A and B are shown apart, each in its own frame.
Chain A
Amino acid sequence: MRASVPRRVGLYAVLIVAALVMIVPFYWTLSTSFKLPGDVFSGKLIPDPFTLENYQDVFRRLPFATYFLNSVIVSGSIVGLNVVFGTAAAYAFAKLRFPGRDLLFFVFLLTLMVPFQVNLIPLYRIMVELHKAIPAIGVDTYFGLIAPGAVQVFGIFLMRQFLRSIPDEILESARMDGASEWRILRSIVFPLAAPGMATLAIFTFIGAWNDFLWPLIVTNSDEMRTLPVGLALLARRNTVVWGQTMAGTVVAVAPMVVIFLVLQRRFIEGLTAGSVKGGG
């Protein structure tokens, strides 16, 4: 059915205005990051004069290189740990039998209902005590940033749904051939689960890269801060240096935007798989 011409004009007008509302703040961020301090509120669409000073400040005078590295290390570790341990647990829940399995899975599901803030304060205390006992772990360490997110129940749930679609016969025949469970996991389950693991990796990465509250609480030195924490502390000052802050924003946002534009189809498929199909 083809809609009438006025209707189509209206449709595109609404879509274009809406798309501008979504895109302009991104453009304005980028544009401001190349402006001199005096030009930030000048309303100029294109930075004139164009300066790289803000980026130099962010990397030389402010520790954004450290924040960036920390974000990469923390998000990367959380993704790796979740993909391996989440898939392993999901395989056990989906395909193996052991007493207490269903009860355990139910308890895992219950934890999905508990907001993180409930655990925040004691979790911080645990990290303080760990740090006193072993200085390399606990508060203000990579361990402290990574460990609480190392195995996320949502990921187990997602992978369990995925692994249930692997036919039992494949696993049975491997067992008949004398393969150990470890070997089955490594040579059959992991390869077959690769698309699901990619979805899990993407989800976990988005969450870890953008996570704020826990990294804010568990770090107290610039050496350990991640990008969102460093950026937030810059942006909440009473007098914000906007050019610098926008350069910091670009640094924090750009990797996510690039990854999203490259892997867009996968993102959206993973997302809708969890909501539309998962609801049924």
Chain B
Amino acid sequence: MEGTLARRIRAGLPGYLLVAPAVAVTVVFFVVPMVVSGYWSLTQYNGIKPPTFVGLDNYIALLTDPRFLRIVQNTVFFVVMGMAIGPLLGLGSAVLLNESVRLRALFRTAFFLPTMVSLVAVATVWKMLYQDQGLINDLLGVFGLPGHAWLNDPTTALPAVVVTSIWQGFGFETVVFLAALQAIPRETYDAAKVDGAGAWAQFRHVTLPGLRATILFIYIIGIIGSFQAFDQIFVMTQGRPGISTRTVVYELVDEFQRLDLGSASAIAYLLLIVLAVLSFLQLRFFGERD
């Protein structure tokens, strides 16, 4: 038995050689940091003196700190507002583009273009648009509406950042939904029409079921992505005013730079746990279908 295993390993040598670079990179730059991060999350550590083990203290301190809970609340707001609007816009524009529209490719390009561009660049541009004398207030003025200091008001700053993120991201959803819509066979619609289904009934009973897997895909990818929001906050608000736009990852990076490495690692692991649960749900939903 051992002889055959040795032989199989020898026969598998090309395979091992081909995966070796991928394994090496993944172990050194992924697995090791991940394990170390888990250990640091259980210690008090400033990067200079050796870490001292403190058990779950960092986690308890974070989860009982009203300031951190406010940051979690901001992050959840970011995710919920983004996910309530973005995919809906994506689906809406995909449904419109799926009609026999002239210049479909042109419209699709317009919607999709921002998703190609770095979030830093998009955030930079929108920071300018949101300025007191910026384009958005100018346009409001055209309609006789008062301007607003969007990024300096704690009630509007976070929604303003979310709007920017939706603007940047929903074209991805448009393109994915459009491809999924075009994959639904025409005959299904024809059959529904024969049965006397109107436009709304067709949408409910043919389109939506046909998009089920795509909707799940969009939501899970989107939720995971928006839980990690950082770039746009860094550029547009730096978490201000107060901590009204501070997100979990922004706080993590901030603690890292303040050399509170134990607590920063605990934030990282809390994020990991939340996202792992969500990814697990994704696998479950997709697994159920296949």
A residues whose Cβ falls under 8 Å from a Cβ of B: 2-3, 11-12, 14-15, 18-19, 21-26, 28-29, 32, 40-41, 43, 85-86, 88-89, 91-93, 96-99, 101, 104, 108, 111-126, 147-148, 150-151, 153, 156, 181-182, 185, 206, 209-210, 212-213, 216-217, 227-229, 231-232, 234-236, 240, 242, 245-246, 249, 252-253, 256-257, 260-261, 264, 267-268, 271-272, 275-276, 279-280
B113 CB within 8 Å of chain A = yes
Sample of 14 more A-B contacts, CB < 8 Å, known A41-B134, A232-B234:
A3-B99, A11-B99, A15-B107, A22-B110, A22-B111, A26-B113, A92-B16, A104-B19, A115-B271, A124-B256, A151-B25, A236-B235, A272-B176, A280-B213
Measured between beta carbons, the chain A residues less than 8 angstroms from B40 are 121-122
Check if B26 sits within 8 Å of A92, measured CB to CB.
no
Check if B15 sits within 8 Å of A123, measured CB to CB.
no
Check if A14 sits within 8 Å of B214, measured CB to CB.
no
Measured between beta carbons, the chain A residues less than 8 angstroms from B109 are 261, 264
B14 CB within 8 Å of chain A = yes
17 example contacts (A-B, Cβ-Cβ < 8 A) are as follows A15-B96, A15-B97, A19-B106, A28-B135, A41-B133, A98-B12, A99-B8, A114-B34, A115-B272, A115-B275, A119-B29, A126-B32, A209-B118, A231-B121, A232-B231, A235-B127, A276-B183
Known: A121-B40, A271-B176. A212 touches B138 (CB 8 A): no
Measured between beta carbons, the chain A residues less than 8 angstroms from B175 are 268, 271-272
Number of interface residues of B (CB under 8 A): 98
Task: Give the contacting residue for A118; candidates B113, B128, B167, B269; CB below 8 A.
Answer: B269
Measured between beta carbons, the chain B residues less than 8 angstroms from A217 are 253, 256
Q: Which of A113, A122, A182 has the most CB of B within 10 A?
A: A122
Taken residue by residue from 237 to 255, chain B's Cβ proximity to chain A (1 for < 8 Å, 0 otherwise) reads as 0100000000001001100
Taken residue by residue from 260 to 272, chain B's Cβ proximity to chain A (1 for < 8 Å, 0 otherwise) reads as 0100110011011
Known: A206-B116, A253-B118. A111 touches B30 (CB 8 A): yes
Which residue from chain A places its CB closest to the CB of B23 in the assembled complex?
A: A104
Taken residue by residue from 194 to 217, chain B's Cβ proximity to chain A (1 for < 8 Å, 0 otherwise) reads as 000000000000000000011001
Measured between beta carbons, the chain B residues less than 8 angstroms from A212 are 118-120, 230-231, 234
Check if A232 sits within 8 Å of B26, measured CB to CB.
no
A240 to B76, CA, bound (A): 30
Within 8 A of A (CB), among B21-55: 21-23, 25-26, 28-34, 36-37, 40, 47
Task: Give the contacting residue for B124; candidates A119, A182, A229, A249; CB below 8 A.
Answer: A249
Check if A43 sits within 8 Å of B138, measured CB to CB.
yes
Chain B residues touching A, majority SS = helix
Check if B14 sits within 8 Å of A23, measured CB to CB.
no
Known: A115-B224, A280-B290. A147 touches B119 (CB 8 A): no
Measured between beta carbons, the chain A residues less than 8 angstroms from B159 are none
A279 to B282, CA, bound (A): 11
Check if B29 sits within 8 Å of A210, measured CB to CB.
no
Known: A151-B25, A210-B117, A272-B176. A249 touches B125 (CB 8 A): yes
Task: Give the contacting residue for B129; candidates A19, A25, A126; CB below 8 A.
Answer: A25
Task: Give the contacting residue for B114; candidates A22, A97, A151; CB below 8 A.
Answer: A22
Check if A97 sits within 8 Å of B228, measured CB to CB.
no
Check if B268 sits within 8 Å of A120, measured CB to CB.
yes
Which residue from chain B places its CB closest to the CB of A14 in the assembled complex?
A: B96
Known: A19-B111, A41-B133, A272-B176. A98 touches B228 (CB 8 A): no
